[in-house]
Structure 1
């Protein structure tokens, strides 16, 4: 069934209205786009939901944005938030995957546009398999077609080839709701129920950037922000643990870059993923801007602006050229 937004996008494209909106701006302010991974997930045992675009798809998107919008970095943020007119678009990436350096960075450089990369510092240091990728690995490598996690699922979780992503997504939803001290036990339960065991640590060896790559990107005009040490759902942690995750991540990145880190993005980034304790911890750590992951944009002269809850709109593999044009020309409706 085609959704209302998809139907509206088709109508805008068929009627040539995207071109009109490109030439006649309907909005002014800041629209922040969020990506995670660039490339083709086909054949990967990890979480396919993390791939935001293929390389050609991303290159086409960056080319389009550079042609029609003012693509900005963090240095422009104060002026924009104070009401500078214009259609300002910011490109951001979360987590620190190696393909951000190998695939996204050269494309951004080729088109002369900046982006902001929010790093989970412990991923670069310790090279683990992130919890979402481990859940996906356990489902995708399982020989079973159903699992039962007593106390967590109302019914047995059924899954089959070729696409097991729905099962992955169901387990991720459960994980994100758990108190942090129960997450390790949950992963053990999934490992047992799938028969796959826990994902071998060596799988993480080639997943993440290293610090030399980060320094090269910074020297190449990219901005760097913090995204915690271990990527927990912060609201599921006590206040002191939240402070440690935020402060240690900031300090680690500053040590590697030799400059202050003033931007942060919330892991998971939904309204229930952070709380007042989180924002108080950010303020104590000297963070000026924090970014969510639940859609929206910042209109010029916004009266309800919270610099520690700046909205971001997700870009996903399903975001084709027409969908992206709708998103950036009419964020009032599509962001």
Structure 2
């Protein structure tokens, strides 16, 4: 392949990268007629689309550098994402992990505890997911379920919640003492914004899977969640692992601000790489490629 052809191919790959992000965003534009009243109420992002894409790709390139540094140095990083339902946690996690090696950057989103797990030490089911050297773990919700949904919905007793508040600072200090960088984000949105996002999910068949009975109940118990959040901040905002609040009403701004802040929290550096040279392919004149049966191929529908 000539240098010019290679350049053209790389440019095409970058275009595909933009298309990939556009596909993830375009569902926000597909508003059905019966959702017109929602789209009229939603604010317009002050970020131009081109600016957002440019900054996102720039920050994702820095995340790749961070990933290389984590592998090179054997660092261990845990990032906790908490916040109200529909606050945008999943969107930013997706953009952070989008271009990273899943063997290095793992996303952990645990389901409700099993009957067996309910009898264990509360933190036990989270411990196996903590990183080894050279790994980053992104918790899409975490042990803070106990001071949030479990408390508000009555799945944990007041004694269990109090025990959690007594234990979690020391649990996190133990994590940090073991050499893990622990960073905690809370995504914050307004009452009206959550209502609009829930309505979008209710009326959009591509998003209905995101709604659970717990999500719907959270609307009824908005003030209870607010009180639970305030006490969580008050009792778990420790110097070793402070909370950082991400304003989430504008999804694009929230993503860029969170990723930019995350990068600023870690003293990563460029890692030197040996030059990579693509070896020439070996051709065997005696080899004859077999013709495979046509039924093995996926039909060319598009």
With normalisation by structure 2, the TM-score equals 0.30
Greater share of helix residues, 1 or 2? 2
> Which has the larger Rg?
2
